[in-house]
Amino acid sequence: MRVLIISDIHANIYAFNACRQVFPAYDVVWNLGDLVGYGANPNEVIVASREIGSFFVRGNHDKACSGASDLEGFNPIAALAALWTQKSLTPGNLEWLKALPKGPVKPESPANVLCVHGSPLDEDEYVINVHDAAEPLMHPFAAITFFGHTHIQGGFVAKNGGMHALRPAFGDPKAPQKIEFRLEPDATYMINPGSIGQPRDGDPRAGFAVFDSDAGLVTLHRVPYDIAAAQKDIRDANLPARLADRLSEGR
Ligand SMILES: [Fe+2]
């Protein structure tokens, strides 16, 4: 089975559309949450996400923007964007977003795979470094956990009592690129497909992943998109300028 794994689109329809044009063949889509928040096109992103799949895990921005949670833990810029999003969503999209399931969510198949937004231990926890990944990797809920939330593509692997980070080494930030990882059967993984709509790993290109469960392969993709168009919509919506600026920095 080939699974398209996407996360953290953050209402960036330009990044999402660029990815949609190059998505390789897949059987199913797992969406790890934060469809909205920060970007200026939340309704378009919800519609486009529902067109390609029905498997979702809610993100902290999905909760805040739909009123499923308050704005606790949100910085002023994120809170402003969440309030703007809440006002901009259609009533139908707001209700749909509010009803997204809390992670972890277990896909029907394959066995031994789990999907979360933050961490298997806490849906809102950031797994940024090996230290953060230690608990879920050493006491795994599944052999492979796919997670988002950090907007940093790659992940962590534990094998024979040791742990290390997986960081793709991409080259040209102007071209589409992909890097393949072969999964080892006796290792435990936490894998982040990257953020489509607001990457924070220094590479401004949209990120996503494909998991081939039969071959035991994960392919990480980066795709250039029209950043200026996404920035213009953010500025035209009077959202904080930082939300536009950071898209070209990939931070
Ligand atoms: Fe996010």
Residues 223-251: what's their mean pLDDT?
Answer: 97
CB-proximal residues (5 Å) to ion ligand 1: 8, 34
Q: From the CA of 70, how far away is ligand 1's center (Å)?
A: 16
Mean pLDDT for 186-194 is 97
Instruction: Kindly give the distance from the C-alpha atom of residue 223 to the centroid of ligand 1, in angstroms, as a whole number.
Output: 18
Percentage of the chain beyond pLDDT 70 is 100
pLDDT exceeds cutoff 90 at 139: no
Question: For residue 6, what is the enclosing H or E element?
Answer: strand 2-6
Angle at 73 between CA 70 and CA 154, to 5 degrees: 115
Neighbouring C-beta atoms of residue 144, cutoff 10 Å: 22
**pTM of the entire predicted model:** 0.97
Q: 124: which residues sit within 8 A by CB, 6+ positions away?
A: 60, 73, 117, 118, 149
Q: How far apart are the first and last CA of the chain?
A: 33
Residue 32 has pLDDT above 90, yes or no: yes
Model confidence at 109: pLDDT above 90: yes
pLDDT of 137 over the 90 cut: yes
Residue 63 CA to ligand 1 center (angstroms) comes to 11
